[in-house]
Structure 1
Amino acid sequence: MQISANQCLIRKIRKHELEDAIQVFMSSFRRSDDRSLYQLTKNHWTNWQKSKLAEFYGAFHENQLVGFCLCFEFKTTASLGYMCVDFRYQNQGIGSMILNHIITELEGKGIPTIRLYATKMGEKLYKKYEFEDDFIGSIYEVNFHEEINKKNLQVRLSSRILPWVYNLDKVVYGDDRTKLLRYLIKNGRLIVKPRSGFAFIKDENVGPIVSKNIPVFIDLLKYAYTLGGRKLYYLSHDTRSLKVIEVLHLIENTAMRCKRMIHGPKINEDLSNYYSMYNFAIG
């Protein structure tokens, strides 16, 4: 269906329009009949919108939602994801219009750096807006065949986030993600080894995990596995970072491989730690 991008209005999606966004998302990836994906997406996005963890920027044509993108804002960086356009309106400049609107808004708020996790299909659009290639992101299936005795692990559950967790996350990620961490402990669980590492688990997603060494990373992941953690979102930035994957013999879901891309100034992130993400909002 032919429309012009300049006929679209870009604005934030309201609560009652979230169902429309899910339908556009499902349509754009030709998965309209996937009920499990629908329910998972609805649960995540409803919680993100309710907690104000993410803003939903939509493109509307004659009051109909035709495309959108999620934006997770922090102090000095933002992360974009789920950029999609209804398949009937693709290749007509709508994605470009949404992206340009968000970049302009973030610059106006004094947020200079944007990260995102791009599919092959999305890379061309992002490079047009001067996003630069960074790391490879992969999703790994977590599976420990041996029985795990939590008493033998040097980690424990924590009911609250102590200051060292916030500080370590800020050093590794390069920004203050207080609102994300508070969302995760409210809706999930926190596992820690004091001042050495921590891991959040929500549903089957394990992350972020931050650890100063491989043994602590493994103990955190094993404990999360006993709580139902099955998916690890991991960034590979050098051969050292891949040691964890090699030691654990984790299996990559190659269909979900993505590329982290950066727009704006480089981030001051400490890559000496072993680190995994909460999620890849791929688009």
Structure 2
Amino acid sequence: MFIAPFTKSDLSSLAALQPEGWGDITQAFEWYLASSFCTPMKVEAQGTIIGVGTIINHGKTAWLGHIIVASNQRGRGVGTFITSALVAELRHTSCETIMLLATTLGEPVYKKVGFVAESTYTFLKGGILPTSPSTNIERFESNRRDELLSVDFSVVGEDRSRLILPHLKEASLYLEHGKISGYYLPTIADGPIVATTKEAGCALLTTRSINQTKSVIPSENEVAINYLLERGYQVSNQGTRMRLGKSFSWQPQAVYNRIAGNVG
């Protein structure tokens, strides 16, 4: 069993690793290969890929995503091997904190490597939200770029600029007193919403519901969760946010929907 960089020629092997209920992992790895801040890796044994995982590096922080082990190889230490190798790769960088979102199956594996549970995300689905858009919501304009990035950093505590910059043209902004108090990015993964006021967050959740029927929200954001529950949504699952390394400040109550499980 050895670990090596995942390459374009490996994409055809991913179908055998596709977990039930997950989005298309082949598309995810195509994106990883095309993104300079991502490092996809594979584990091989006897000429067969038996596991994969990826680093998404934001500088001082990084996320591990798509750590997947072939179903017939589980319980043999492959998940621990992948995770340890990805962590070791980051030891040679400026990264101070490594994050991931763990499933119930994966959480014990990550604890073996030294990750600690930090908080949880609540998964919701169904429900009906009002369809009338808020008059405070406007389309993104390029002169708002730095302001939006500043809002994002102040909430999540990470420099996600390389991740979100390609999607700003389609962003919806919630403006209060001429300043951004929330944004929604419909073209990236699950459609993230960051908002510093309840009004902004709930209005953008309504906008997002036109195209999305599922939400994943930090459990600390009781305002967002209750807003959806009161409108017919139901809790469908929960995931654990885990950390290895230095803790950093963030505002989970201002995240009204995550980007995705691989980046928070």
Counterpart contact for 1:206–1:231, Cα < 8 Å: no
- Map residues 172-211 of structure 1 onto 2, 5 A cutoff: 172-185=155-168, 189-193=170-174, 194-202=179-187, 205-207=190-192, 209-211=193-195
Q: Which residue of 9, 21, 26 corresponds with 1:16?
A: 9
CA distance in structure 2 between the partners assigned to 1:204 and 1:81 by the alignment: 13
Q: CA shift at 1:101, angstroms?
A: 1.1
Partner Cα distance (1:203, 1:69) in 2: 20
Which whole-Å CA distance do the structure 1 matches of 2:235 and 2:30 have between them?
Answer: 26
What is the SS of the residue equivalent to 2:100? strand
State the shift of 1:163 in Å.
0.5
The 3-state SS of whatever aligns with 1:105 is helix
1:245 pairs with 2:238: no
Q: Is the 8 A contact 1:236 1:242 kept in 2?
A: yes
**C-alpha displacement of 1:275:** 4.1
Aligned 1:260-271 pairs, distance under 5 A? 260-271=241-252
Structure 2 counterpart of 1:191, which letter? S
Matches within 5 A, 1:211-230: 211-226=195-210, 228-230=211-213
Q: How many residues are matched?
A: 256
TM-score by length of 1: 0.81
Structure 1 distance, partners of 2:162, 2:37, is 7
> What is the rounded CA distance, in whole Å, between the counterparts of 1:122 and 1:204 in structure 2?
22
- Distance in 2 (CA, whole Å) between partners of 1:95 and 1:179 is 28
Question: Which residue pairs with 2:50 in the alignment?
Answer: 66
Say if 1:69 and 1:83, in contact at 8 Å, map to a contact too: yes
1:100-115 alignment to 2 at 5 Å? 100-115=84-99
1:138 aligned to which of 96, 104, 122: 122
AA aligned to 2:153 is: K
Query: Structure 1 pair 142/174, CA: closer, same or farther in 2 (3 Å)?
Result: farther
Deviations 1:115-169 (A, max 9, x none): 11111111111111121111111222264354x233x431112154610111111
- How many percent identity over aligned positions? 18
Q: Which residue of 2 aligns with 1:164?
A: 147
Aligned to 1:4: none
Structure 2 gap ranges (5+): none
Backbone CA RMSD of aligned residues: 2.4
Give the counterpart of 2:101 among 98, 117, 137: 117
Structure 1 residues 261-270 or 243-252, which shifts more? 243-252
Contact 2:51/2:79, CA 8 A, preserved across alignment: yes
| CA-to-aligned-CA distance 1:225-281 (integer Å, 9 cap, x gap) | 33x1333221113xxx21222123262452x42111111110222346344310113
Q: How has the CA–CA distance of structure 1 residues 155 and 143 changed in structure 2, closer, same or farther, with 3 Å as cutoff?
A: farther
- 2:251 paired with 1:258: no
The one-letter code sitting in structure 2 at the alignment partner of 1:244 is A
**SS state at 2:122 partner:** strand
